[in-house]
Amino acid sequence: MTTAIQFGTSGWRAVIAEDFTFANVRRALSGIARYVVSEKPHGARVVVGRDPRFLGESLVAMAVEILSTRGIAPLVIAEPAPTPAIAYEVIRAQADGAINFTASHNPPEYNGIKFSTSDGAPALPEVTNRIEAEIALPDGQPAASAEKAEAVTIEVRTAYLKRLGELVDLETIRKAGLRVSIDPLWGAARGYADTLLHEAGAQAWTVHDCRDVLFGGHAPEPNDQLLSDLRRKMAETNSQIGIATDGDADRFGILDQDGSFLQPNYFIALLFDYLVETRGWKNGVAKSVATTNLVNALARHYGIELHETPVGFKYIGELIKQDRIAIGGEESAGLSIRGHVPEKDGILAGLLAAEMVARRRKPLREQLQILFGKVGSFYPLRENFRLTPEVKEKFTNKLKAEPREFFGRKIAGVVRTDGLKLLFEDGAWACYRLSGTEPVVRVYTEARSRDDLAKLSGQAKDWIFH
């Protein structure tokens, strides 16, 4: 039976040797190649990159062979490279897209393929739908007229780091004598943020600065539970901030001076406030429907247009391309800013966090309390719940209805941008999104006090199962 290859919000991912087999990768690459040729029959050039996962070199070689045979010139990145660096290279080199072998923050047994279009952005659904249709077709031979294209080896680090140096005030970091600890989690960001900081004369220390295809035996995800080694390095070096990235460096994790983890929700809001303050950017702000309404409150405070998008950074990327926003972010630890790539950039996020601490000379938690004083307090939470087939069917139907009440809370609005989001009159909200790949419902809640969040979280769970 042929495996159906489907591209989600960030490409196709699967377990190695189960669905992610050489045969299926070949099918996926052939489908992408046919799509590229349909868009540009002659002279197409595609960047080919990878994160440090198992078999990455072999997969790149396979992509080179398939693209070359179809007359597409592969621009091959020899070393593992961050997703945002690949996106920047697509734009800089005016390439026709990128194939990136990465499973991002997924566990080490996974790998994946991400396709970016000529604007450096993750492919939108209209593109991935066409690619999936091409993959489903029999893999015919390339047209006889197609001349084999030569592969070119490229290096992306230099140009990308130069761009980051233009976006981040490294001199402020250096002058403040800021001490920064960095954790690339054995991933593609090794040698990026630390190199830039050292070249600027700043102080930085790194953990997990070697390749490990098992990522220490866990997912390369920069969340609170997996950053203990970074905390130890911060204590050892007396660092004022810790910055981490996931396997392909498109997501960020931030530790404050005391080693406490700063929720991505809060960091996105803090950075939005900081960019308005220091750059004067007021052209707009974007956030996914599941991201904190602290961003909404700040947008109202500054009189800035707010864009609330479906989950998936591709939608925020479109607004970055159009220069309609100063910053766009998702609670799942992805963001980018004005004038940069329409793709998540965890390296940039970490460096801007360091700049913010260096300039304001206050820990991030203290900065957050100042922000709460400006627009009020917000307490967000994300939880996942597994569903039996019976409960999932019943709950799916429940999501289609128009709820009239929610445990005595008055519903002020219903948003269906992505899933079901219920807005309550007191400023709290709950959002439900069914997973497309597993029997799970993702539940996002936010309240204006910690006590009410605990209450709302329990109610949100009860609403699923009753």
Quote the CA–CA distance of 395 and 385 in Å, as a whole number: 12
Please tell me the least confidently modeled range out of 140-149, 361-370, 446-455. Answer: 140-149
* 107 and 38 inside one domain: yes
Q: Let me know if residue 445 belongs to a domain.
A: yes
Q: Let me know if residue 47 belongs to a domain.
A: yes
Burial 106-120 (b: 16+ CB within 10 A, else e): bebbbbbbbbbbbbb
Q: How far is CA 371 from the centre of its chain?
A: 24
Q: Let me know if residue 1 belongs to a domain.
A: no
Residue 46's pLDDT band, with cuts at 50, 70 and 90, is very high
- Whether the pLDDT of residue 214 is over 80: the answer is yes
Is the backbone of residue 361 left (phi > 0), alpha (psi -120 to 50) or beta?
A: left
| Average confidence (pLDDT) over 393-412 | 91
Q: Let me know if residue 88 belongs to a domain.
A: yes
Share of the chain above pLDDT 70, in %: 98
Residue 8's pLDDT band, with cuts at 50, 70 and 90, is confident
| CATH assignment of the domain containing 414 | 3.30.310.50
* 218 and 331 inside one domain: yes
**Per-residue model confidence as pLDDT tens digits over 275-291:** 999 999 999 999 999 99
* 387 and 422 inside one domain: yes
Q: Determine the pLDDT at residue 137.
A: 87
Of 140, 155, 170, which one is at a domain's C-terminal end?
155
Q: Determine the pLDDT at residue 199.
A: 95
Q: Determine the pLDDT at residue 443.
A: 97
Q: Let me know if residue 449 belongs to a domain.
A: yes
Q: Let me know if residue 6 belongs to a domain.
A: no
Domain that holds residue 145: 12-155
Q: Determine the pLDDT at residue 138.
A: 80
| Average confidence (pLDDT) over 415-431 | 95
Q: Determine the pLDDT at residue 140.
A: 60
Q: Let me know if residue 3 belongs to a domain.
A: no
Q: Which of 368, 367, 364 is nearest to 240 (CA)?
A: 364
- Whether the pLDDT of residue 144 is over 60: the answer is no
**Per-residue model confidence as pLDDT tens digits over 299-313:** 999 999 999 999 989
* 103 and 163 inside one domain: no
Q: Let me know if residue 2 belongs to a domain.
A: no
Domain count, the chain: 3
Of 155, 175, 191, which one is at a domain's C-terminal end?
155
* 112 and 138 inside one domain: yes
* 342 and 413 inside one domain: no
- Whether the pLDDT of residue 24 is over 80: the answer is yes
Of 155, 173, 207, which one is at a domain's C-terminal end?
155
Share of the chain above pLDDT 90, in %: 92
* 343 and 386 inside one domain: no
* 173 and 316 inside one domain: yes
- Whether the pLDDT of residue 89 is over 70: the answer is yes
| Average confidence (pLDDT) over 224-232 | 98
* 353 and 436 inside one domain: no
Q: Determine the pLDDT at residue 4.
A: 85
Query: Quick check: 265 and 380 in contact, CB under 8 A?
Result: yes
| Average confidence (pLDDT) over 443-454 | 98
- Whether the pLDDT of residue 259 is over 90: the answer is yes
* 331 and 367 inside one domain: yes
Q: Determine the pLDDT at residue 147.
A: 85
Q: Determine the pLDDT at residue 9.
A: 63
Quote the CA–CA distance of 259 and 263 in Å, as a whole number: 13
| CATH assignment of the domain containing 93 | 3.40.120.10
Amino acid at 176: A
* 388 and 363 inside one domain: no
* 171 and 307 inside one domain: yes
